[in-house]
Structure 1
Amino acid sequence: MLLALLAALAGCSFWGGGDAKPKPADLGANVPVLGIRQAWAAKIGSVQGMPMVADVRGAVVTLASADGVVAGIDARTGGDLWRATLGEPLAAGVGTDGKWAAVVSRGNEVIVLEAGRELWRQRLPSQVYTAPLVAGARVFVLGADRSITAFDAKSGQRLWGQTRPGEPLVLRQPGVLTAVGDTLVAGLSGRLVGLNPDNGIVRWEAPLASSRGTNDVERLVELVAPFSRVDNSVCARAFQAAVGCVNTARGNVEWVQKANGGQGIHGNETVLFGTESNGVVTSWRRADGARLWSSERLQHRKLTAPLLLGRSVVIGDDTGLVHLLSREDGAPLNRLQTDGSGIAATPVVAADTLVVVTRNGNVYGFRPD
């Protein structure tokens, strides 16, 4: 039952859309207020059907394709630092600490590589759609059934596992999994949960949303990536329900605001940004969740989560366009073209380069003029 419902949700949950397709507003002519140019292009392979995440460590962007290619790309040049072909389709990836890189296969195995060479693989108890977290010489995996499993990064030895009661439905998109100080922080249903990374014991739970509605779809509640972390503050989105911030030192909710979006959020110490399911871009004050501005310029476009980059908010859409909006009021600053296949994941920045990956697996590096 779980597998069938996952497949039924996959098409709408990844982009936060439904069956209705209102016509997007005309964008008008592009007036490049902020000069930016394409510096390089590379290829990773198609990521169609895979909830892909680009992991940045210094100048290295690590990527994985749906057909099992994993690569570390130098953001300064677009060239490969290493590349591995695993020969089997992937369900989630990639997570890295700069030394070890971890992905999950559709056969429910976590696979760990070092400098492009496979070290080990271990069977998992469930499907996975969240990139593994590699931290503290360990690999943590968040399962679709809300299980968390920890492995030794070097040997692959299973260290501990933590399970929770299963849910009828889960989202086929990345969830929240990160480390804050000596605490492993995970999104489990509508809660941020802090765990001891040594044994999986729960230290605190902070609810951002709760189940609602009369059927399994309406009761679906999940925290989605990406999230915004500044020191002990972690802010995240609950799918189609809310945006909120948690103080991870105390394990308490600082604020929650209703928000109807399916993609994660990004921001800094003062402001947060998100894209709603109808394409409205919204800004909140980080301190208390007060709404600062909303823009309807991209309404009815299927948008990625935003990236706050300097004076701009960078957002991709499913036509392959990359929009740069002003962080102050959402005014357009520039618009970039890719291959037209749709932006596959939240844009990232590495080595002063904006890196964008399309569904066809093309990778673009953009830099300011």
Structure 2
Amino acid sequence: MTPTERRTSGALASIYALRMLGLFLVLPVFVLQAHTYPGGDDPFLVGLAMGIYGLTQALLQVPFGMASDRLGRKPVIQAGLALFVVGSLIAAWAPSMVWLVIGRALQGSGAISAAVTALLADLTRDEVRTKSMALVGISIALMFALSLVLAPLLVPLIGLAGLFALTAVLAAIGMAVVAWVVPPEPPVQHAQNRGGLREVLADVELLRVDLGVFVLHAVQIAMWMSVPALLQEAGLASAEQWKVYLPAVLASLLIMGGLLFRLERMGYFKQVYLGSIALIVLAQLGFWLNLQTPSLWAVGALLCVYFIGFNTQEASQPSLVSRLAEPRQRGAALGVYNTLMSLGIFAGGSLGGLVIKTWGSTGIFFVSAGLMLLWMALAWPMKSAFRR
């Protein structure tokens, strides 16, 4: 990487990290703290407060991405972070569950993922883009692991309201990083930015990647409805489960970092891409085999295998989208991509709840493996992106 590419990758990864840490800190403790609010005894309102963030994200990713194609990446990113700050402050102040829902909806309306990823693609070359995207993916994985450790420690000190206030501070720091650390973006070519969304939706290769991110995140959410219980059956209490998650995430990142970039430089990007899908399939089948007599070491090893596949895809997929889309369409293309990601999260929760109610954990892991195999079959014919 050139110095500018390193600076860009580090700065934009830090923006993702600050924003995602704020979000992840809330997730492990939200349901446990919801009962302290008026209306917190209503499961519908609690579920709505949890899920509405993903819904507003899904609705606004494409508009924000297209706006970044026309208005520039940085102004759109700053506007999205400002909305996130306002939503976080409302959630911190919220006197009832209804106001908490409003705050969460505003948090989600700052749908900047497409604009941030598009800016990263604008400022990096094709040959180092996967590495740059991987830094973003690594930052997200590390923030998830860190939140599992920090959230239970912070809640007794500052409460859920304090966590939301902290998310506002982290997002404000992100705004400062955009203003003073991220390098200048290329000039906007207004005249060339028409019809981008229609072209993106008609591109079969892009749609294959979009389907992939939908399946990836649907499976992620669905399997997490069974994995914590599997760890409990293996003898690990929920408060101690981060001791498995954190080593699994860190080991997967070390393995991915040592293999992915080297194999890509050697021309094996397609094999890595398809192989990471296969690893997630193997992990699902391994979880199923451990259902009867779960072993803590086996579940930990399977989680490492899963995270290798998941984190490789998190790095590879945005890079593929940026390669397939023309520069003038990147915001729109990444907007569609991030919309499908958010819809996958929503579908994973809904599908996972239905499957586990009907067939239990056995069904979760079989359905997840089946979805991954379907994705592999659709991804196998891809050629154009892998040649670049």
Normalised by the length of structure 1, the TM-score is: 0.24
Q: Higher strand share goes to which structure?
A: 1
| Structure number with higher relative contact order (C-alpha < 8 Å, ≥ 6 residues apart) | 2
TM-score, normalised to structure 2's length?
A: 0.23
Q: Which structure is higher in helix share?
A: 2
